[in-house]
């Protein structure tokens, strides 16, 4: 895992004095590179976490699946990433982890993409039979998405070869023809298309049910959270303040340029023109995720033998933090009321 805390604090111009740092509680957060991190970046830039008495230490993760051990062992306090088979397996083993809030909601902007040289060979999802598709980690949510897309054409995940690699390695794998397709997320979808390394082919937003989809979340270490409930509640109030800022920028509000500048300075994306050209993944303003979607993810992992037990929704999610933050913040007012863009409302 690569430490991002210094980059973000310096890159975003956040100065933390020794005295202030001593007065704040440090929370270690693992994040998967995603456009959705704009909410966290804005909350940090605006001082929402500082106001809550919190200092963040951020670390990048290949996926939430690969960061699950660090969360369960207390090396990380919170993870922001995709729902993975590793999460359900951790709960079965009674490890101290729990989903708290939604991180990406419909429309998610994910895409099953193919190599341009295959456009005459792969014309429908049925044509993926025997092909190789990249997913970002074993048992990651992208594997679920690939499987669900294939099932709409009568195929299963066993009809393709899955190659696991970080999102950042997709470009090289496509160039070297090591894979035929990839399940990519923003901002990787933007650069792959712009650099003509991959063509959009099938969108989970259009084909996967139920919706809205719960594919990315926040998770906490419950042993760490139990004795510091007020701190964790304050974290999520600050986080959802950032989500509101993100959603205003998403809909073309006055802070859109500021959000884009943060995404560029944090190296979430390097080309501002792409952030202006392509749609962003949505977020749920309340932080409350879709229980129907999460249960479907669990069912799919169980059916495909990536997990071995099925748990009820009350054992999968702690809704108390999103409820607390929503009550604390009150109603949301969209700045650009003329926006017709779906999601983030």
Measured between alpha carbons, how far is 25 from 20 in angstroms, rounded to an integer? 10
Per residue in 2-33, is it b (16+ CB within 10 Å) or e — as a string?
A: eebeeebbeeeeeeeeeeeeeebbebbbbbbb
Residue 20: predicted pLDDT: 40
Q: For residue 66, what pLDDT is reported?
A: 84
Terminal C-alpha separation, the chain: 33
Q: What pLDDT does residue 233 have?
A: 98
> In the predicted model, is pLDDT for residue 22 greater than 70?
no
- Please name each of the domains of the chain with its CATH number: 2-105+213-329 (3.40.190.10), 111-202 (3.40.190.10)
Residue 64 and residue 33 in contact, taking contact as beta carbons nearer than 8 Å: no
Residue with structure tokens 């998405």? 145
pLDDT of residue 1: 45
User: Residue 245: is its pLDDT beyond 60?
Assistant: yes
Condensed to tens digits (0 to 9), the pLDDT of residues 179-202 reads 999 999 999 999 999 999 999 999
Question: How confident is the model over 230-245, as a mean pLDDT?
Answer: 98
What span, in angstroms and rounded, lies between the C-alpha atoms of 265 and 10? Answer: 10
Average pLDDT, the chain: 93
Selected residue with higher pLDDT from 191 and 20:
191
Strand-pairing partners, residue 222, are none
Using DSSP, state whether 36 is helix, strand or coil.
helix
* pLDDT, position 63: 84
pLDDT of residue 64: 85
Burial 83-101, CB ≥16 within 10 A → b, else e = bbbbbbbbbeeebbbbbbb
pLDDT beyond 90 at 15:
no
Binned at pLDDT 50, 70 and 90, residue 65 comes out as confident
Which 3 state secondary structure label does DSSP give 250?
helix
CA dist 139 and 144 (Å) reads: 8
For 92-147, how does the pLDDT look when each residue is reduced to its tens digit (9 = 90+)?
999 999 999 999 999 999 999 999 999 999 999 999 999 999 999 999 999 999 99
Distance CA 298, CA 316 (A): 10
What are the tens digits of pLDDT across the range 327-339? 999 999 999 999 9
The model carries a pTM of 0.90
Q: Measure the CA–CA gap between 316 and 268, rounded to whole angstroms.
A: 29
């Amino acid at each position: 895992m690569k430490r991002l805390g210094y980059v973000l604090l310096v890159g975003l111009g956040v100065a933390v004095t020794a005295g202030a740092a001593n007065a704040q509680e440090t929370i270690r957060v693992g994040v998967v590179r995603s456009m959705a991190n704009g909410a966290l970046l804005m909350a940090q830039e605006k001082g929402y976490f500082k106001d809550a008495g919190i200092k963040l230490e951020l670390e990048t993760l290949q996926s939430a699946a690969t960061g699950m051990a660090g969360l369960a062992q207390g090396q990380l306090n919170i993870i922001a990433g995709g729902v993975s088979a590793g999460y359900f397996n951790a709960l079965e083993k009674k490890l101290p982890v729990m989903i708290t809030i939604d991180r990406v909601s419909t429309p998610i902007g994910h895409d099953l993409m193919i190599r341009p040289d295959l456009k005459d060979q792969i014309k429908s999802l049925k044509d993926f039979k025997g092909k190789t598709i990249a997913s970002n980690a074993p048992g990651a949510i992208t594997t679920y998405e690939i499987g669900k897309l294939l099932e709409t054409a009568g195929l299963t995940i066993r009809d393709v070869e899955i190659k696991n690699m970080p999102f950042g390695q997709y470009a090289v794998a496509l160039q070297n023809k090591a894979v035929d397709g990839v399940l990519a997320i923003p901002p990787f979808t933007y650069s792959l298309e712009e650099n003509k390394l991959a063509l959009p082919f099938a969108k989970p937003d259009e084909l996967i049910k139920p919706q809205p989809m719960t594919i990315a979340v926040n998770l906490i270490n419950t042993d760490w959270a139990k004795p510091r409930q007020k701190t964790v509640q304050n974290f999520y109030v600050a986080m959802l303040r950032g989500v509101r800022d993100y959603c205003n920028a998403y809909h073309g509000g006055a802070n859109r340029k500021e959000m884009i500048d943060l995404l560029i300075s944090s190296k979430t994306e390097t080309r501002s023109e792409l952030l202006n050209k392509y749609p962003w993944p949505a977020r749920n303003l309340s932080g409350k995720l879709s229980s129907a979607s999460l249960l479907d993810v669990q069912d799919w992992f169980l059916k495909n033998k990536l997990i071995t037990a099925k748990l009820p929704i009350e054992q999968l999610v702690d809704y108390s933090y999103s409820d607390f933050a929503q009550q604390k913040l009150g109603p949301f007012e969209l700045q650009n009321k003329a926006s017709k863009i779906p999601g983030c409302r």
